[in-house]
Chains A and B, each alone.
Chain A
Amino acid sequence: MTKSKEARQDFWERNRKSGGYLLRKRITKVGLSICRFLLLFGLCFLILQPLLSKISVSFMAEKDLYDPTVNIIPAHFTLSNYGVAKEIMGYWKAFRNSMVISLTISILQIAVCTLVGYGFARFKFPFKKFWFACVMLIIVIPPQVISNSLFINFRFFDIFGIIRAVTGKPLNLQGSVIPYYLMSAGCMGLKNGLYIYMIRQFFRNIPVDTEEAAYVDGCGMFKTFRKIMLPEATPIITSCFLFAFVWQWTDGFYSDMFLGTTPLVSTSLARVVDGISAYIQRITGIKTTVSVAYSDAILSAGTLMIVVPVLLIYLFAQRKFVESISSSGIKM
């Protein structure tokens, strides 16, 4: 008590000596931090609000949605929206598929991208600048431009006419997962240019000495990579993997184009609204139009079911996501 009193007296003393400068500075500082708090609070609320409103809507029974007195907290708490959303989306099947595909695809993509990034970071070879410019190019070219041609080529898939010669007609790979795996193996998946770039930046920052020591001791190129460089690069690889997984999980574009027939959480979510009336008709046998409010409640529940796994990953590995970018030190 006396201590704080002393501190306060000391403050006024110092303020008097500085001719009011100290007080003015303190006031500006406090004022600024209040402004900052208000601004950040508002913006954070802005970002979180849709999520919060989804949570509250998804637990409401249908009559709550039309009740003007029910605003945030549901009066008739129910889990039925989740049940309906689960039925319409075929959630567990889609979840399993998405899990398997996202995991395998992101592992494949990151494995290949690590190799390529290492090659770009640590070796000198002719036309290196040219090939790296190509990496920049795949970051910049929107995949929509080539989607037409890819689509039609996978529809009538053939390798130099071999398949046609054997079976008499080209292979139809449309709706199969193989093309996307092939593309991922060739670094042409979702945002793979970005991963190559980030991994390359990380490898470039590791000192050359360790590598050279390994060469001197007679370690081969690939062995050096596997035994010495790879353990060093674990942080960037994990975070790229997390990015790849999460983005693959929510991706609509590639999933829609190549994996159209495989039920995935991302594509099934897009069909929820259309699916509701069909679902109700199937159960009750009566053709009805679903109200906007109700379909929104179902959609909220569905979105939450998809977001929650990703959100959990993010909350646990939040540091990894952010640090990866900082540690790669993006520069141009």
Chain B
Amino acid sequence: MSKSKKGRLAGLEKRKAIAGYLFISPFILGFLIFMVRPFFHSLYMSFCEVQLGPAKFDLVWKGLYQYNWAFRVDPEFGRLLGSEMLRMFVYSFAIIVFSFFIALILNQKFKGRALVRTIFFLPVILSSGVMLGIESNNELISSIMASVDNYQTGPDITKALQEILRTTGVGVRAFETVFEVINNIYDVALASGMQIIIFLSGLQTIPRSMYEAAEIEGSTAWESLWKITFPSISGLFLVNWVYTVVDFCMRSDNEVIDKIKTIMGRLNYGASSAMSWAYFLCIAAYLALSTFIISKRVYYYD
């Protein structure tokens, strides 16, 4: 603002700056004490052996020992990390596509829209926290599903379609992934409540007149989707992508987190720090890379 008067701001501005700092001071304090410090402390811990005493704990420098242990001694960790990252990629992609699609439908006018919206946002509440973990290991349902699958010998369109696609022999792995996502569409639907709201709020800001003008000019709905809708809300893809990935890390059915918790429960804090740091670095690299790729394609209209 007043760059000419470097260092000494004029009366009101200075007071405003001080007031601003006062307003955000809780955040700064909390950030330094409960974020920055533990952040580096846990980084340090991951290079150490943590020895617990009755009234204190000691950190003994061990170098890369804990990382070595996590990846090469522990039988599961490397495998879990790999499968979890792959799952994260597939699911975040599916969630984004699904929520965009649903938001497009919910943005149209039809009877009972309010009810449908209520139901679709229900997972924001229902699938949070502990509910999800309980949902996913519902043994009775899965055993019933298995027995139903066994008894069902009649014609099954989905299965037949899957068989046909499998026998084409092209990109079988990719098809398998798609089938897996389709079979777990319930998980996808549950995880995409918030993303649908965000997309919907973006869709509602696009002026109707824009579509009308396009229609008069002879553009089809399909063309308007790509030329109007997509560019207008492309920024939200980035927001939703980040939200989805972060949300995925917080899920209670995350196997890597379970593993870290188990190790932590054995009071092996050094190893658990190393594991959480390895996990964090993977996610950070993944987020940075994907955000970079997406933000290249985001269209900023202002």
Residues of A within 8 A of B (CB): 33, 36-37, 39-40, 43-44, 46-48, 50-51, 53, 57, 112, 115-116, 118-120, 122-126, 128, 131, 134-135, 137-153, 155-156, 169-170, 182-183, 185-188, 196, 221-222, 225, 246-247, 249-253, 266-267, 269-270, 292-293, 296, 299, 303, 307, 310-311, 314-315, 318, 321-322, 325-326, 329-332
Contact = CB atoms under 8 A, between A and B. Distances in A.
B128 to A, nearest CB: 5
B15 A36 contact: no
B35 A170 contact: no
A131 B249 contact: no
A183 B140 CA distance: 39
Given A140-B242, A147-B276, A270-B133, 4 more contacts: A145-B276, A149-B38, A149-B273, A251-B130
A305 to B, nearest CB: 12
Interface in B188-211: 189-190, 194, 197-198, 200-202, 204-205
Given A185-B26, A221-B16, A303-B134, A330 B239 contact: yes
Contact of B30 (A119, A152, A186, A326): A186
B201 A330 contact: yes
B134 A269 contact: yes
Nearest to A191: B250
Contacts of A153: 38, 41
Given A115-B26, A125-B21, A183-B34, A44 B131 contact: no
Contacts of B139: 292, 296
Q: Is the interface of B mostly helix, strand, loop or mixed?
A: helix
Contacts of A143: 250
B116 A116 contact: no
B56 A119 contact: no
A138 B35 contact: yes
A79 to B, nearest CB: 20
8 nearest A-B pairs in the assembled complex, by CB-CB distance: A186-B30, A119-B23, A123-B20, A250-B129, A149-B42, A149-B38, A326-B201, A252-B130
B41 A326 contact: no
Given A123-B19, A296-B139, A152 B50 contact: yes
B199 to A, nearest CB: 10
Given A50-B135, A266-B130, A296-B140, A36 B189 contact: no
B183 interface: no
Nearest to A128: B20
Contact of A144 (B27, B105, B279): B279
B105 A253 contact: no
A188 to B, nearest CB: 4
A247 B250 CA distance: 12
A150 B257 contact: no
B143 A146 contact: no
Given A39-B105, A43-B189, A314 B236 contact: no
Given A124-B1, A330-B236, A144 B129 contact: no
A39 B101 CA distance: 11
* Residue among A135, A152, A326 having the largest count of chain B Cβ atoms under 10 Å: A152
A109 to B, nearest CB: 10
A311 B117 CA distance: 15
B24 A43 contact: no
B97 interface: no
Contact of A187 (B15, B27, B264, B277): B27
A120 B24 contact: yes
Interface of B: 1, 13, 15-24, 26-31, 33-35, 37-39, 41-42, 45, 50, 55-57, 102, 105, 108, 110, 116-126, 128-131, 133-135, 138-141, 143, 185-186, 189-190, 194, 197-198, 200-202, 204-205, 235-236, 238-239, 242, 246, 249-250, 252, 257, 260, 264, 269, 272-273, 276-277, 279-280, 283, 287
Contacts of A196: 27
A309 to B, nearest CB: 11
Given A46-B186, A321-B124, A325-B197, A142 B105 contact: no
Contact of B143 (A249, A252, A292): A292
A251 B134 CA distance: 13
A210 B260 CA distance: 51
A187 B198 contact: no
Contacts of A331: 235-236, 239
B105 A251 contact: no
* Residue among A140, A183, A314 having the largest count of chain B Cβ atoms under 10 Å: A140
B189 A47 contact: yes
Given A146-B35, A148-B273, A250-B131, A116 B23 contact: yes
A161 B6 CA distance: 40
A47 B119 contact: yes
B223 to A, nearest CB: 16
15 contacts: A50-B141, A116-B27, A139-B242, A141-B280, A142-B249, A144-B249, A145-B276, A148-B42, A149-B45, A170-B55, A170-B56, A183-B34, A250-B128, A270-B130, A330-B201
Contacts of B22: 119
B143 A53 contact: no
B125 A296 contact: no
B20 A124 contact: yes
A148 B140 CA distance: 35
* Residue among B131, B204, B236 having the largest count of chain A Cβ atoms under 10 Å: B131
Nearest to B242: A140
A116 B105 contact: no
Given A43-B102, A147-B276, A266-B130, A186 B201 contact: no
B125 A311 contact: yes
Contacts of B264: 147-148, 151
Given A115-B26, A307-B131, A124 B13 contact: yes
Given A146-B39, A330-B239, A40 B20 contact: no
